[in-house]
Every structure is written in C-alpha cells, then in structure tokens.
Structure 1
Amino acid sequence: MTSSSVPSHIMSLPDASPVWPDPQTEECDSTALATAILAGDVEQVRSLVRMGIGLTQSHHWVLYEACLQGAHMVDILLTSQRVNFSTFIPNATGDPLLFFILRTPSSRFSTESKVATVAQLLDNGIDPCPLDRVGQTVLHAVAGVRPESGPLLSLLLRISARVHINSQNTFLDTPLAVTILSGHFEAAQILLEHGADVHVKMEWGESVVQFALRRNNLSQRTRQHRSLGQCRPGLNSVR
C-alpha cells in the first residue's frame, strides 16, 4: 500500500506518534463503508478496507447484512483488522452477531447457504462461545430451529462450542431440553451422540429425561422417532 492511497487523517507524521482520526471523521468513514456494504458494492468495499477504514459500533449491524450477501463480501471484510465479526449488535437485545445469523431463515441468504456462511465465520476465528441476553449458547440457539439445525449442530459440535453441550440458560434449559421442548428429535439425537447429559436438572427440579416422560415425548413417540433412543439407560433409573 502506498502512502498516496492512505487518507491524510490516518497517516503518521515523520518521527511522530500516529495521528488518529477524530471521532467525527471516523464516523464518516464508517458510514461510507456501511453504505458500500449495503449496496453490495464489492469493489468499493475492497477499496475502503485497503485504505484502513473500518466500522464503528453504530454500524456493526451492517455486518449482519454482509453475511446475508455471501462469502465474497465476508472474505473482503475479514481482511480488515478494524472489522470484528465477534461483535455484539447494538440494538434492543444486544446479542452477538452470530446469534442473529443462526436465527435467520435460510431463505434470507442470497448465495451461500446459511450453514456455509456460519462455517466461513467459524473458520476465520469468530467466537463460537458467546452468550446471549438470557444466557443461551449457540447450541441453544440452533437446537430448536428447523430445518438446518441438524447440519448446524454437527458443525458447532466439532469445535469449542462443544464445551457448552450441557450449559443451562437463565431458565435452566440445556440444548437437549430445548430440542425436547420444540419436539425436534433429530437434533436431540445429534446432541446425545456427542454426550449430552440426560440427568441435568431443569427449572422445576426434574431431569431432562423426567421432563420428556412427563410430556410423553419419549414413551409415546420412541417407535416413530428413534432420536431419543439413547435416553433409555436414563429412563430405567428414573422410573
């Protein structure tokens, strides 16, 4: 990168400390980058990123729109040290960006699939272990979502997010409990295969297995949904 390609307000003076942009100028630059992202102008985004322009907190929500546009836009933004995909989105909920992506219907993604977009972010260092406003992990967020929850769970369980397989949210639900609450037995099977604990106590002091029995999710549907078949050892101890 030549000095002529760098805006004067972010250049360093000879034999002096760097001259950092003032907040107003930085916000203007961020607005320019955000506008280019929203317009889908890949070349303009590339040019601004190469100039060292990033996104201020007020524009972090634009990263969500970038993810919906596909891998090419995300790849360009990932080259910037001033763009952070592990950020929180400053809105009424304040959840991490990854949660917004996981909760978005697959039909919103323009080119790559939702699973491919999540994989791209994980491969490039996005934090897979954040918590949302009610203490949920990414596994909670995916557990009850169809139809892509199976592939997403398999993807997340291959990385460090697996450490949260038995984590409880504010309501003491584990990801496995969420699958039972939503009747998503295929997702339950994946969690069980990766070691989900069927004896974790839930909100009313009963285990996941006891909760499943009370709702008849297991006793009446096991023949139709073999997903929770591995809970049988646990059932024997609570009957």
Structure 2
Amino acid sequence: MAESIPIALHDNCYEPKENLIEAILAGDVARVQQLSMRNYSVPATDSWVIYQACLQGLEMMHALSINPDSNINRAMPWQMGEQTMHFVLRTPTCRFRGTKIGVISFLIEKGAHPLQRDRQGNTALHLLAESPAQNNTDGFGIMQLLLDNTTFIPSTIRKECLSHINTRNDPQEEGEGCTPLMVAVLCGNTSCVQTLLEHGASPHLVGPLFRTPLYFAVVKNLTGIAQLLLQYGGVIDSEIVAKASSLEMMTVLSQSL
C-alpha cells in the first residue's frame, strides 16, 4: 500500500502573499506574524484585507505591522483615495474584536491622521458626528478622546483637531459644506453637538442653503439641540421663529429672545 502523502502546507500551495491574505481572513495571528517577519505584506490591490485585519483587533494589527512596509493606513483601491481610517470610523464598535477606540489609536500611531479627508471632504470629526452609534465607545465617546487632553493621541494632533473643529466638508447641495457641528445637528446627535460646542465649535457658521445649525435644529424640532446652540450663542431671527412647529420649541426660542 502506498505511503500516505502529507498535505502540502502554506508556502508549498500558494504564493506567500496569498497565504498572508488567507491567514488574516482566517484570524490566524501566528501565521500572519510568521509571514510578516519574513517581510511579506498585503498587495495594494488587496488592501481591503487590511480593513478586515482591523476588525480582528489589535493582536492581528500588531502581527501584520511587524513588516515595516505593511502600511496599515493605506488608500483603498477604487475608493477615490479613502483610507483604512475612514472605513474604520464608519464601522460600528460591535463589529470589532476588541475596541474600535484601540484600533483608531493604533492607526494614528502608524501615521493616520484624524483630519485626513474622505471622498466627500469629511474628517474624523464629521464621520463621528454622523455615526448612528453614539455611546462612550463610539461616536461622541471617540470624539471626546480626540478633543480632550488625554493620552489617546499625541498632543500635537489633538491641537490640530481643535484648530480645525470648524472645517467644512464638500457641499452636496446649494450653500456651504457642513462643519462637524452641522453634521451632528442634521443627524440629531445631541451628545456630539454638546461635545463640539464645549470644545469651541461655532454655532454661527452656515452650511446647506446658507442656513445656521439653529435653523435646522428648529426645522427638525430638536429642542434639546436648539437649547444647546442658544446656550453657546446661537442667534434667532424671524425666519427661525417662523419654522418653530411645536409649543415646546416656541417656548425654547421665546426664552432666548
């Protein structure tokens, strides 16, 4: 009887780069580490696999970045220059093995910057302001870590985030682009509105239709957000008053007239 032939392993079956991709997708941290130590990295055409590595958490990301040429925060193919960081920021915390905050911190350590813009001109502050997941580990929670004086990011990057807190994205309709504050108002994310105002965001800068954040808060009947904007200097005009559609909103506005 013929002797059994051993099943060929890893590099005997495929190119090492293919093995690396398979190891990442399989969650095989040890194999990824082994291949990274041999200076293999994910090809540019397969950069989406880097995003998958981020979802698998810090252990996988550390293993992949052993190779200094791995370039963790890279431009994704056919995504108009958007980088790993943008995809991570849009992904809910529940999708990560570990914490989304830890992954973002690691990407920043490897050269990503919160002010890098996506295809529509959004910075990290814009993307966090529109996130449907708003809690201590996503949305406003990460925004606070970017803007507060913490060890989450280097102080130089934090200062840059603060100095660009009023940066507009690209306009998608008549008027100006949106600041992160405007995005937070349009999405009804009260905690983001408060965080941005507390860190110096202006309630006066106009956005779509050349309207202010207070205008949209009133149109959407977001009384809590309207109160915050007024508390930080939002200005009421006759057009805003005319847009009030509830007794509660009219009361909020009348108290500030």
TM range (shorter): 0.7 to 0.9
Are the aligned partners of 1:143 and 1:149 in contact in 2 as well (CA < 8 Å)? Answer: yes
TM-score, normalised with respect to structure 2: 0.72
Please give the per-residue CA displacement for 1:122-152, whole angstroms capped at 9, x wherever unaligned.
2343232211111111111110212221111
Please report how far the alpha carbon of residue 31 of structure 1 lies from its aligned counterpart in structure 2 after TM superposition: 2.3
Match of 1:8 in 2: none
**Which blocks of at least 5 consecutive residues in structure 2 are unaligned?**
1-13, 149-157, 172-176, 239-256
What CA RMSD, in Å, does the superposition of the two structures yield over aligned residues? 2.4
- Which one of the candidate residues 146, 171, 181 is aligned to 1:156? 146
Please report how far the alpha carbon of residue 44 of structure 1 lies from its aligned counterpart in structure 2 after TM superposition: 1.3
Inter-partner Cα distance in structure 2 for 1:77 and 1:129: 24
Amino acid corresponding to residue 170 of structure 1 in structure 2: D
Match of 1:52 in 2: 39
- Say if 2:224 is the partner of 1:221: yes
- Say if 2:88 is the partner of 1:101: yes
Inter-partner Cα distance in structure 1 for 2:201 and 2:130: 15
Identity of aligned residues (%): 33
Amino acid corresponding to residue 182 of structure 1 in structure 2: C
Mean Cα displacement is larger for which, 90-99 or 131-140? 90-99
User: Secondary structure of 1:55's match?
Assistant: coil
Inter-partner Cα distance in structure 2 for 1:28 and 1:157: 44
Task: State the aligned residue count.
Answer: 207
- Which one of the candidate residues 106, 120, 144 is aligned to 1:134? 120
- Say if 2:190 is the partner of 1:185: yes
Are the aligned partners of 2:33 and 2:66 in contact in 1 as well (CA < 8 Å)? Answer: no
Inter-partner Cα distance in structure 2 for 1:195 and 1:126: 24
Match of 1:14 in 2: none
Inter-partner Cα distance in structure 2 for 1:92 and 1:99: 11
Amino acid corresponding to residue 139 of structure 1 in structure 2: L
Match of 1:5 in 2: none
Are the aligned partners of 2:32 and 2:63 in contact in 1 as well (CA < 8 Å)? Answer: yes
**Which blocks of at least 5 consecutive residues in structure 1 are unaligned?**
1-26
TM-score, normalised with respect to structure 1: 0.77
Q: 1:187 to 1:237 in 2, by over 3 A?
A: same
